[in-house]
Amino acid sequence: MRFAFLTELYFPSVGGQEVFFQELGEALVRRGHTVDVYCIGHVPDLPDVEVINGVTVHREANSGRYKTPKIKALRRNWSDIAKYSAGIRRVAARGEHDFYLLNEWPLMHVLALPASARPRSALHWCEIREDLLLRTLQAQFPKLVGSNFAVGEAVAAAITEQSGRECGVLPSGIEATRYRAAEGAERSGVLYVGRLAPHKNLPLLIDAFGLAAERGFVGDLVIAGAGPSLDDVKATVRQSPVADRVQVLGSVDEARKLDLLATSSVLGMPSKREGFPRVIAEAMASGLPVVTADFTENGGKDVVKQYGAGIVCGQTPVAFADALLDAQAGWEGYAQAGRAGAVDLDWTHIAEKLEKHAEMNRHGG
């Protein structure tokens, strides 16, 4: 079959949705399918068309300012979104693809999909937002496509409740065989891996670690990642009473990340807003318990609950510190549950699920 992925951003842009569409596309290519990705260029000088690991990437718009519009409050360059949506309409109108998988973002491209393509399309929801406008779109947009998927069970349930449309699950997967898990005696410390941005809420983790360290938590806090909040994170660490036990590594390569996942005691995820964070699946495959807080828009909490792969706690440093200590003490049980659940998150299973769905719906059935 020939798949078209219609998504906001793609490699070399870095983010959870970029990884989802890239690795799902590559998994489908390995299964003998053709995958075309249609996206927006996020930086200048990216080629309009290139092939990456067998996936053909088409950048339908690229002003060079997509993430840095002249009006900062807009957060995105809407002229790029308009141009991209028009390009999507032309592509789908040609009818060259058997199935269209749309990312939730940038939203407006859903309206551009021609009626002829809608029966053989699916909209993939990566997160739920609670503001009035986005709740309205979450209620209406699922009705504009042939089917809907979400990154996790909780997001799927919310889409079904708000729209009245059935919503399946296509989680953010992993290649399970790439990960290893050290024994409990070889592990120590709290790990954070991911982008450093305001909604990731790193001060909560840093403050909680300070409290847990004073109560006997074994090991250091290691923060791996980069982003706009890097300087703020470093400043918060300098003010911590246990600053000498906190390492801010910046970006790390894949080999170092896998080693950190395999040898840490707990993954700390203090985010206020997430869909299905890929790092949770990676932690599960690595036998690494997850601690996350019960923020309303944090989809990670639902993943942890679903698989029993860690602890969902309150939103205060004290509550988070308690959970870090409990997760380290109960490492074996959480690690076993996580590794068992990770089997279902292998890309092979996820690609096969989409493949079967597309086959049933490729003629609009």
List the CATH number of the domain containing 254: 3.40.50.2000
Query: Residue 364: pLDDT above 70?
Result: no
Average pLDDT, integer, range 226-244: 97
Q: What share of the chain is helix, strand, coil (3-state, %, to 5)?
A: 45, 20, 35
- Mean pLDDT, all residues of the chain: 96
Domain of 222, in residue numbers: 176-344
Condensed to tens digits (0 to 9), the pLDDT of residues 33-85 reads: 999 999 999 999 999 999 999 999 999 999 999 999 888 888 899 999 999 99
Shared domain for 224 and 239, answered yes or no, is yes
Q: Looking at per-residue confidence, does 244 or 277 come out higher?
A: 244
The predicted pLDDT at position 72 comes to: 83
Amino acid at 36: D
Chain segment 333-360, per-residue pLDDT in tens = 999 999 999 998 999 999 999 999 999 9
Secondary structure (DSSP) of 211-231: HHHHTT--S-EEEE--STTHH
At residue 133, the 3 state secondary structure works out as helix
Q: What is the mean pLDDT of residues 232-236?
A: 98
What's the CA gap between 358 and 185, in Å, rounded? 46
The Cα 311–Cα 279 span in angstroms is 15
- d(Cα 50, Cα 54) in Å, to the nearest integer? 10
Convert the pLDDT of each residue in 14-25 to its tens digit. 888 999 999 999
Residue 364: name the closest of 122, 110, 31 by CA: 122
Q: Tens of pLDDT along 102-118?
A: 999 999 999 999 999 99
On the question of pLDDT at 254 being above 90, the answer is yes
pLDDT digits (tens, 9 = 90+) for 145-175: 999 999 988 899 999 999 999 999 999 899 9
The residue ranges of DSSP E strands in the chain, in sequence order, are 2-6, 34-40, 49-52, 55-61, 99-103, 121-125, 147-150, 168-169, 190-193, 221-224, 246-250, 266-269, 290-293, 310-313
Asked whether residue 164 falls in the same domain as residue 28, the answer is yes
- Mean pLDDT for 245-267 is 98
pLDDT, tens digit, for every residue of 168-181? 999 989 998 899 99
Please give the pLDDT value at position 115.
97
In which band, very low, low, confident or very high, does the pLDDT at 276 lie, cut at 50, 70 and 90? confident
d(CA 75, CA 291): 30
- pLDDT, tens digit, for every residue of 192-229? 999 999 999 999 999 999 999 999 999 999 999 999 99
pLDDT surpasses 60 at 365: no
The rounded distance, in Å, linking the Cα atoms of 328 and 176 is 23
Percent pLDDT > 70 in the chain is 99
Find out whether 292 and 271 touch, Cβ atoms under 8 Å: yes
Query: Is a pLDDT exceeding 80 seen at residue 363?
Result: no
Residues 158 and 46 in one domain: yes
Q: Are residues 15 and 28 in the same domain?
A: yes
Model pTM score = 0.81
Encoded tokens for 196: 């450093």
- Supply 217's token pair: 């938590």
On whether both 150 and 192 belong to a single domain, the answer is no
Do residues 93 and 232 both lie within one domain? no
Work out the number of other CB atoms within 10 angstroms of the CB of residue 177.
8
Q: Give every strand in the sheet of 310-313, ordered side by side.
A: 246-250, 221-224, 190-193, 266-269, 290-293, 310-313
Shared domain check, 181 and 144: no
State how many domains the chain has.
2
Claim to verify: residue 94 and residue 186 sit in the same structural domain: no
- The one-character DSSP state at 245 is G
- Alpha-carbon distance of 239 to 222, in angstroms, equals 16
What's the burial of 215, exposed, middle or buried (CB within 10 Å: 0-12/13-18/19+)? exposed
Q: Do 119 and 169 fall within a single domain? A: yes
162 with 276, same domain: the answer is no
Model confidence at 280, pLDDT cuts 50, 70, 90, reads very high
